Structure 1
Amino acid sequence: MAQMGYIGPMIGQHHQFHHYHPGKSKFGEDRYFKITKTIYENLNDHLSNHDYLAGDYSIADIATFPWIARHNIHDIGLHHYPHLCTWYELISQRPAVVKGYDLFQKGNKIPPIRS
């Protein structure tokens, strides 16, 4: 439920203000950048003691992964969050995730972690 009630909506707002409509609202850009950074921090902290978000691999990971997979447009630096990076790499290597990321067979690849 965290993904539907917090992670998705807040990172979605960050996408709107920071990536799709930059310069339209400094307040919106700053607010949702900070919230997205906090989400990264919270996930990283949780994943310091867990391999997955809710015990075993589950819908929590499946629903959250697509938001983190857009890390390249968040401008936060996924590489600063080592436990979140480990989780991201673990999920990225699952055959069904790789296949799903390129569902329409257009050559889409899961974005690598940049430093």
Structure 2
Amino acid sequence: MTITLHTWNTPNGRKISVALEEMALPYAVKTVNITKGEQHQPDFLRISPNNRIPAIVDADGPDGQPISVFESGAILLYLAEKTGKFLPASLRDRVPVLEWLMWQMGGFGPMPGQVHHFRTVEAEADRHYGLKRYSEETRRLYGVLDRRLAQVEYVAGDLSVADFAILGWAWRHERHQVSLAQFPNVRRWYDALFARPGVQRGFAVKLDDLA
């Protein structure tokens, strides 16, 4: 049976397409055009009550019964548990995966997302304040990531769902007005991930309605 990925071409959407490809799970894409407000439609709200993409419906869920999952971090953990891939079995080894996944969900996503927002604000005073505040915090987070990756190959040691989560946002570093040349360990990690066929397929799959 196939997983249905309800999504759009955003960092959070790309996290899941990359994970599905890396885990070799069959899936179908159902686009949710957030520029047209489709995330507010009743059918989508039934599986994603926070009206945010992505969400999945797994026809072959636990005990063989269908299940829907919303929030990208929860989806990544669900898929990892389902497949037994990219999430260590031992609690000790699992802790850094959970730490860095939560780091992404709580900071390295919301903060760069504010940079995206304030770059489009028309009022000069508001744009300047917002960009300064959130750009500084975004660069601080890139520094945290760079220092971590100076010690390990992947953020939790071995490749994990935490890497897929963070990569979805690092993919938009140019929008964050961040040069990866200033974060050489992030650059090395980023290039290594994008050399993986599964990651390439995950970013190549069409996640929007645009030609």
Q: TM-score, normalised by structure 2?
A: 0.47
Q: CA deviation at 1:88?
A: 0.3
Deviations 1:51-90 (A, max 9, x none): 1111211111000101111112222211111101000001
| Residue type of the alignment partner of 1:93 | A
How many corresponding residue pairs? 105
Structure 1 or 2, whichever has the larger Rg, is 2
Name the counterpart of 2:142: 40
- Give structure 1 stretches of 5+ with no counterpart: 107-115
- Structure with the larger RCO, 1 or 2 (CA within 8 Å, 6+ apart): 2
Query: Secondary structure of the equivalent of 1:2?
Result: helix
Distance in structure 2 (CA, Å) of the matches to 1:98 and 1:53: 19
Q: Distance in 2 between matches of 1:68 and 1:21?
A: 22
1:18-29 pair list within 5 angstroms: 18=119, 20-21=120-121, 23=124, 24-29=126-131
Change (3 A) 1:36 1:105: closer
The aligned residue for residue 101 of structure 1 is: 203
With structure 1 as the length reference, what TM-score do the two structures score? 0.83
Question: Residue 109 of structure 2 aligns to a residue in which SS?
Answer: helix
Q: Runs of at least 4 residues of structure 1 off by over 2 A?
A: 20-25
Instruction: Name the CA shift for 1:60/1:28 in 2 (closer, same or farther; >3 Å).
Output: same
1:3-44 Cα deviation digits (max 9, x unpaired):
1111111111111112x3364421111001001110111110
> What is the aligned partner in structure 1 of residue 173 from structure 2?
71
> Of the candidates 104, 110, 116, which is equivalent to residue 9 of structure 1?
110
Larger displacement relative to structure 2 (82-91 or 96-105): 96-105
Which protein is richer in strand relative to its size? Answer: 2
Aligned residue identity for 2:142: Y
User: What's the C-alpha RMSD, in Å, of the aligned pairs?
Assistant: 1.7
Match of 1:92 in 2: 194
**Structure 2 residue ranges without an equivalent (≥5):** 1-101
| Richer in helix (by share) | 1
**Identity of aligned pairs, percent?**
36
